Amino acid sequence: MFYFSKSKYCDFRQCPKIPWLKKYKPEEYVVDEATQARFTTGNEVGDLAMGLFGEFVEVTSYKEDGSLDLNRMKELTRQYIAEGRDNVCEASFDYQGLYCAVDILRKNGNGYDIYEVKSSASPENPVYIIDTSYQKYVLERCGVTVNRVFLVTVDTSYVFDGVLDLQKYFRVTEVTPLVDEEMKGVEEHLRAAEKVMASYKEPAVDLSCSCDKPYPCAFFGYCTRDLPAPSVFGLYGLSFKKALALYEEGVVSFEDVLGDGRALDTGKQQGNLRRRQVEYALEELGTYVDKAGIAAFLSTLTFPLYFFDFETVQLAVPRYVGTKPYQQIPVQYSLHILRNEGGTLEHREFLGRPEEDPRRALAERLIADIPDDVCVLAYNKSFECTRIRELANVFPDLSEHLLKIQENIKDLLDPFQKGYYYNRDMGGSFSIKSVLTALYPDEPELNYHSLEGVHNGSEAMALFPRLKDLPADERKKAEEDLLKYCALDTYALFKVYEKLRSVL
């Protein structure tokens, strides 16, 4: 018997190789932080949506080992349908091995409507139509009349006023005509999928735009394992689409890229940086330094120097009055202060509490910690500047000082993005982590991997909202981990500054 699920079907439609690799080579699947965060957010939003139409029953059931008890779920679904329940959540069906669970199955006359809940803000994603057409196919084969199909997405314009209004938080979009059109091909796709999944031979599928859309594929590392490293896909600032177009023309290795020239001779700064990336990799050169450029940048800085970095959270379900879903909310900052060249580094920091809106306390501490006339250094400053402007908007009484801090921010990314300093080990990435590793390859104190608990912004973002649910000792440890992570970010800025000074 051919067993398939909704997620496998969607995978198959993205690329036939994905479900095959998941079955035969699951060890090659690499879940990145972004994917993991999407799963967590999806569950939170899905749970919330169950109450969208008032009273509901949920069929989710687990076995003793913690896995889903699909048989029990199907049995409960049958029972609730027979009882004529209006809203059945996670309603589960199986047609000859084709399994699916409907987020909300809603009674409509003699039939039902399907509501598929997505944590995303956009109902336009074509994968959602593929997803719901599979559901409708399975339900109809199981004898359920499906009248209409809807997508439930998050309305990011919704402003939380203290009481979550599900009708305003969610946006419901009917997609029945699109689903009916897509339904025409489901049978054929399933036949093709059955063949692929039954074969031990890996499907011969080359790289395509599916490798990057709708999300970067978790098997990309596996599927590019035989390409020269580095390859066209690692070129600085080149979109996946453009890299793929070159790849399809046989421009794959850095030698190819250099010979072809199109990705390099763009007449723009990015093209120049790519040329340097390629030449330094091929010729095994070490560090490029434009002393005049670095000197010009450093001459714009004045003591005391404030090295500054925010951490933010983006809550799918807003918790603080006046905020919107997925709004960037600053919850933490770190500040290293150097009063004069060779002076002792001072450190200040702030970490809010998830139980209350941290923005007011953070803004007050910020203006207490940073005078309005000092030079502040951030990395990729547009993020910090935007957050400070947002704070100034929310707190007009603090806005004058906040806006002055924002005006005084200089960007430590500039010398790298302008090509004044390049090291082959940066590999075409100017993220603070890549730059730091390239500048200080042998300093464990600057290695984010040697931190305990929190190693990157995504982990910090995920941990902060959970602080309130942790037992006191675990919370204390988690808060220390967050503080250490953010402190390393600004210490890293100081070390980058030091390195630039030293090359002069």
Residues in contact with ligand SF4 by the rule CB under 6 A: 15, 17-18, 21, 205, 207, 210-211, 217, 219-220, 223
Spatial CA neighbour of 102 closest among 112, 113, 89: 89
Tell the smallest beta-carbon distance from residue 258 to ligand SF4 (Å).
26
273: β partners? none
The pair of three-digit structure tokens given for residue 101, joined into one six-digit string = 């669970």
State the nearest-atom distance from the C-beta of 119 to ligand SF4, in Å.
Answer: 22
Closest to ligand SF4 by CB, 61 vs 210, is: 210
Min dist. Cβ of residue 11 to ligand SF4 (A): 9
Integer Cα distance of 461 and 454 in angstroms: 10
**DSSP codes joined into one string, 258-322:** HHH-TTT-SSSHHHHHHHHHHHHHHTT--EEE-HHHHHHHHTT--SSEEEEEEEEEE-SS--STT
Q: Using the 8-state DSSP alphabet, how is residue 324 labeled? A: -
What's phi and psi for 283, nearest 5 deg? -90, 5
Which of residues 68 and 205 has its CB atom nearest to ligand SF4 in the complex?
205
Instruction: Give the β-pairing of 57-58 and 170-174.
Output: unpaired
Task: Output 26 or 267, the one with its CB closest to ligand SF4.
Answer: 26
Locate 369 and state its tokens.
């910690």
Shortest approach of ligand SF4 to residue 230 CB, angstroms? 17
471's CB contacts (< 8 A; 6+ apart) are none
Q: Which structure tokens are listed for 223?
A: 């599927």
Query: Residue 107 belongs to what H/E stretch?
Result: strand 98-108
Q: Which of 372, 369, 330 is nearest to 349 (CA)?
A: 369
Q: What secondary structure does DSSP assign to 57-92, as a single string? A: EE---B-TTSSB-HHHHHHHHHHHHHTT-SEEEEEE
Task: Please state the closest distance from residue 229 (CB atom) to ligand SF4, in A.
Answer: 16
CB of 217 to ligand SF4, least distance (A): 3
Tokens of 340: 């004069």
Task: Output the smallest distance, CB 169 to ligand SF4, in A.
Answer: 33
In the complex, what is the shortest distance from the CB of residue 24 to ligand SF4, in angstroms, rounded to a whole number?
12
- Cα separation of 466 and 310, whole Å? 18
Choice between 220 and 288, CB closer to ligand SF4: 220
Considering the complex, state which of residue 29 and residue 95 has its C-beta at the smaller distance from ligand SF4.
Answer: 29
CB closer to ligand SF4 out of 15 and 338: 15
For ligand SF4, the closer of residues 29 and 288 by Cβ is: 29
CA distance 24 to 444: 38
- Minimum CB distance to ligand SF4, residue 43 (Å): 24
Residue number with CB closer to ligand SF4 (170 or 219): 219
Of 30 and 295, nearer to ligand SF4 (C-beta) is 30
Q: Which two tokens stand for residue 179?
A: 């689903």
400: helix, strand or coil: helix
| Structure-block tokens of residue 291 | 């002393």
